[in-house]
Amino acid sequence: MNYKVGEVYNGFKLLEERYIKEISSSQKLFLHEKSGAKLLALQNDDDNKVFSASFRTPAGNNMGIPHIIEHTVLCGSRKFKTKEPFVDLLKCSLNTFLNAITYPDKTVYPVASCNEKDLMNLMDVYLDAVFYPGIYEHPEFFLQEGWHYELDEKSDELTINGVVYNEMKGALSNPDGLLERHSMKSLFPNTTYQYESGGDPDYIPELTHENFLDFHRKYYHPSNCYLYLYGNGDLDKQMAFINDEYLSHFDKKEIESSIEFQKPLSKMQEVSIDFSSDELKNNAYIALNYAVGNALDAENHIAFSMLQNILIDSQASPLKKAILSSGIAKVVDGYFSTSMLQPYFSIFIKNADENSKDKFTKLVHDTLTELVKNGIDEKLKEAAVNRKEFELREADFSGYPKGLIYNLTVLESWIYDGSPTLHLEYEKALENIKSKYKGSYFEDLIEKYILKNTHSSLLTLVPKKGVSEAKAEQLNKKLANIKANLSDEDIKQIKENMDVLKKRQTEDDSPEAIATIPSLKIEDVDPKIKHVDVKEIEASGIKILLNEATTNKISYVNFMFDTTTVPLELIPYTGILKYLLGKINTKNYSYEDLSNIIGINTGGIYADSEVTAVKDSADEFKAGIVIRGKSLAEKQSLLIDYIKEIVNNTIFTDKNRILELVRNLKSNIENVIYSRGNSIAAQRTLSYFSAKSKYTDMTAGIGFYLFLSSIEKDFDNQFTVLEQNLEKIYKTIFTKDNLLINVVTEKESFSSLNNNISDFILSLGNCDKCSKTAIAAEKLNEGFTFPSEVQYVAKGSNFISKGFKNTGALKVAKTIINYEYLWVKVRMQGGAYGCGISSSIDGSMWISSYRDPRLKETIAAYNDLPDYIENLNLSDEEISRYIIGTISPLDTPLTPSMRGDFTLGCYLSGITEEDIQKERTEILHTGSKEIKALAPLFKSVFSDNNVCVLGNRAKINENKDVFSEVKTLID
C-alpha cells in the first residue's frame, strides 16, 4: 500500500515517511487524530514482528506505583477474564517475547511473534490490559501484586506479602542495585529520577488502592501512549484493528507527563549510604557520577559508549590500571546510562576502604587530567571506535528480537519529544566521530563532562553489620504496633482480603473465562522443524562443523578444547584459566596491546566454558573451553592469528595482573548470586547427583566461588602454585587431540578461512595423556546465607537414572507445571517473584524459586507436585494450549552466532535432526493420558531430598532442620 504524508489511514494521520538505511526499514510516523496516540511503524522483511504500547510514567514517590501497575494490568481486563491473562498467553502463544518493563520514567509493554495471527492476539490482550484493566473492579489484583497484610489467627504476627514487594526486597539487597539507585538520586534530586520507580519496600506499604488507581487514570490514556509496530506485518490491518477496537473510543486530552530536567548542580554532591555486610574492612563501594548532556544528543550517546570502553571496559584502560595499581580498591567498573532524559556516566570501585573516597576522586581527576594533557593512546581510541561500529552494524542482540531492541532504542529519544529514530540513524554521528577521534575528540569529552562538570556526585556505600536485621526488627516492631491498634473490624477486613485473594488464586477459571483468551490452534503450528544445514568436514585431521549462512560478511569461529582430561584436583583452575585468556600477556603482546589489536581488527575474542549433557545418559557429559571470535571476512586471517597467539603463547607470570582478574571474576560471580541466585542454587542442587553439574559447580558455581575466594584471600602464598597449575592445564588443554571447530560464515568466505584454520591446527601440539577424569557427585543438602531479604529455593534429582525417559510429553508437562501449578502456588500464593521447573537431556530435573519470601512452604509445594500431576484432569483441548506454549521457545529465530551455538550443542550432546523432529511430533500429539502417565517420574524426582537454598541468614537458620549444613556464602 502506498502511503502519503498528510493523509489519514484508519484514524492515523501520516506525519512523516522515510527510509532508515541503518536498519533497512521504512519509517512511518503517525498521530491518531481522535485519541492523540502516537504510532511509529518500522516496516521491513523481518518475520519476527514486534508491537508495544509505552507510557510516560514519572513515579513521583518511592511506593512503586508504575511497577505495581505494570504487574496488575496484566492480571485481567474488560475482554480477558481469566485470573492471569499474561500467563495464559505464555501457555498458548508462539511469542518470541512477552513481558513488560518498568523504567525510571516510562513503562513499556512489548510483545513479539513470527506469526501474524499470534501477534494480533497479543496486541489485543495488551491493549485491553493497558486501557481497560480489571484493577478498578478487582482490588485483589493490587493486594496480590503490590502488597497486603497477612494474619491467619489473631494470635499470629502481622506480616506483609506481595509480588512486587518481595521482588524489590531482593533487588535492593544487591549493593549494585543500591549504587545505581542512589547515583540517580544524587544527580537528579529535583526530578522523578530521585525515586525508585520499582518501589522501595520501606514505602510500598504506604500505597493506597485509590492512589494506585489515580495513577492509572492519569497516565494510561492514548494521549500519553507511544505505539510501535515492527516487521513484515500487514500495517493497514494492524492500524485498523487498533483504531476500531481501542483508540476510536477515546478523545484526545491534555496529560501532564513531561519529565522534568534537572538544572545543573553547582557543586559535586557527596552522599553516604549504609548497606548490610558482615565484612567491614575494605568492602565499601565508591562511585563518581557525572550528568552527560541530554537524551537527544545522538553523537554523545555513541561517543560515551566508546569512552566507557576506553576508560572502563578495555583491558588497556589507563584509568582502570591506575586505580588498581594504587591499591585503593580490588574492582573497578562503570557504565553509561541512557534510558533517561539526562544520561549519566558512572565510574565506581568495589572492595575499597570507605575512607578512600578522596584518594579515589583525586586519582580519577589526576589520571584523566594527564590523559587530556598528553592524549589517549591512539590504538586504544581506534579499538573503541571499531568495537562500537562492529556492534552497530552486526545488530546481534543475544537472542532478543531485533525489533524489540530497536523499540527500546526508539524510546530513548521519542519519549522525550525527539525524533523516534534519532538513535537508530547512527551513520552521521558515527562518521562524525570517526573523522575527529584521532585528534582531541575524546579528551575534550573528558574535560567537558568529567573534569569541569560540577553536575556530579560522589557516592559511598558503607558496609555495616546488621543492616538487614535492624530493618527486619524495625519492620516487626512497626507491624506489632499496627496490629496492637487494629480494631476487630480491621482484623476482619484483613482476613476478608486474604480470603478474597485466596479464592481468586485457587479457583479454576471457568470455561467461559478461558474462552476469552485468544489462542492459536495446533494447525497453526508447523509440524516440521526448521532445517539447519551443517556440514561435517575436516582440516588437518580435525573436525569442523561448517554452517554456511548469510552473515553480513562476518565470520564466526568457535574453537572448543576438551577439558575432561584435566586431573580432578586441577579442574577448578580451568574456571580461572578461561577468564584469564586474552586478558594477560602473551609471548608477543602485552595484554594492553593484545586488547587493542583485537578491538581494531575484529568484533571480539573471548573464552567461555561449554559443559553439555549427552542425550539419554545420566553420567556422561562433554566439557571444554571455547575460544569464540568474530570478524569481517576480510580480516579473518588476523582473527585466527590472535586466537593462535592466545592458545599457544599466553604467559602466567604477571602476579599483579592475575590478582586483578581473580578479584574481578569473584565480583562477577557475586553479582550473579545477587541477581540470579535461583540459577546458582539450582546448579548446586544438581551437583549433589550429577557428575556434569559437579564439574560445572567446580568451575563456575558455588564450589568455584569458594575456591576462588580462598585463593584471593591468601594470594601471595598461593600464587606460585596457581601459576604452576595454570601452566600445567594450559599445556594439557590446548592440543590438537582436544580440538573441535565450529564455523558460521558465508560460502564465499570459507575457502580462505579454511586455510587460516589449517595453519592454526598445525601450530598446536599433541596431548601426552588424554584419559578422561572421573568425577563423582556428592550428596549434600545446604543452606547458604548472604545479605538478602529473600530466598532462592532449589530442589531436584535425575529421572533417567531411575529408568524414565525424555519425551515430548514431558516438555508439555513442564509448561503446565510452570504456568498452572508453580505460578499459582509459589508466585500468586507465596509471593515469590518467580519459580520454574526445568530439565536436561541427561535426565536432570529441578525447580527453583526467585526472590522468594518463604522457604519450607516452597519446598512443600515442590513435594506436592507429583500429586498435582496424578490428579490433573485436563481435556485434550486444554492441553493443546500448553502444546502451543511448549513449541514457542523451540521456534525462536536464530542469529548467525546463535546458529553456531545450536549446532555445536547438538553435536556435543549427540542430538540429531531426527531426534528434534521426533520430540516435536511427540509434543504435538500429547494428550491427557501422556501427561498423567508422567506422575511416577515426578514422584521419583521429588521424593529425593536434594535441596539447596540461598538467602537470608535468619530465615535459613530458622529452618536449619532442612539442611545437613548451613554455610556463609557472602559476609
Decide if 808 contacts 921 (C-beta within 8 A). yes
CA distance linking residue 325 with residue 657, whole number of Å:
9
Please name which of 847, 841, 836, 838 lies closest in space to residue 918, comparing C-alpha atoms: 841
Q: Degrees (nearest 5) of the Cα angle 242, 248, 250?
A: 115
* Exposure class string for 873-895: b at 16+ Cβ within 10 A, else e: ebeeebbbbbbbbbbbeebbbbb
Q: Degrees (nearest 5) of the Cα angle 520, 124, 402?
A: 80
Amino acid 34 reads K
At 49 the three-state DSSP class reads: strand
Q: Degrees (nearest 5) of the Cα angle 853, 675, 886?
A: 85
Estimate to the nearest angstrom the gap between the alpha carbon of 139 and the chain centroid: 31
Q: Degrees (nearest 5) of the Cα angle 195, 198, 201?
A: 85
Residue 17 burial (CB count, 10 A): 16
CA distance linking residue 590 with residue 727, whole number of Å:
18
Q: Phi and psi (nearest 5°) for 738?
A: -95, 0
List the grid coordinates of 394: 552486526
Decide if 314 contacts 367 (C-beta within 8 A). no
Estimate to the nearest angstrom the gap between the alpha carbon of 213 and the chain centroid: 30
Catalytic residues: 70, 145
Decide if 812 contacts 869 (C-beta within 8 A). no
Write down how long the chain is.
971
Please name which of 93, 4, 5, 105 lies closest in space to residue 49, comparing C-alpha atoms: 93
- List of residues 6+ apart from 767 with CB closer than 8 A: 565, 732, 735, 736, 737, 738
At 51 the three-state DSSP class reads: strand
In which residue are the cell numbers 500429547 written?
926
Which uninterrupted H or E stretch holds 160? strand 159-161
- DSSP letters along 476-498, please? HHHHHHHHHT--HHHHHHHHHHH
C-alpha radius of gyration, the chain, whole number:
28
CA distance linking residue 26 with residue 20, whole number of Å:
6
Burial class (CB in 10 A: 0-12, 13-18, 19+), 706: middle
Decide if 246 contacts 32 (C-beta within 8 A). no
| 374 Rama class: left (phi>0) / alpha (psi -120 to 50) / beta | alpha
Please name which of 725, 739, 741 lies closest in space to residue 770, comparing C-alpha atoms: 739
Decide if 383 contacts 595 (C-beta within 8 A). yes
Estimate to the nearest angstrom the gap between the alpha carbon of 55 and the chain centroid: 23
List the grid coordinates of 68: 505495581
Decide if 156 contacts 429 (C-beta within 8 A). no
Long-range contacts of the stretch 856-859 (C-beta < 8 A, 24+): 856/959, 856/962, 857/830, 858/791, 858/793, 858/826, 858/830, 858/832, 859/793, 859/795, 859/947, 859/962
Decide if 37 contacts 414 (C-beta within 8 A). no
- List of residues 6+ apart from 768 with CB closer than 8 A: none
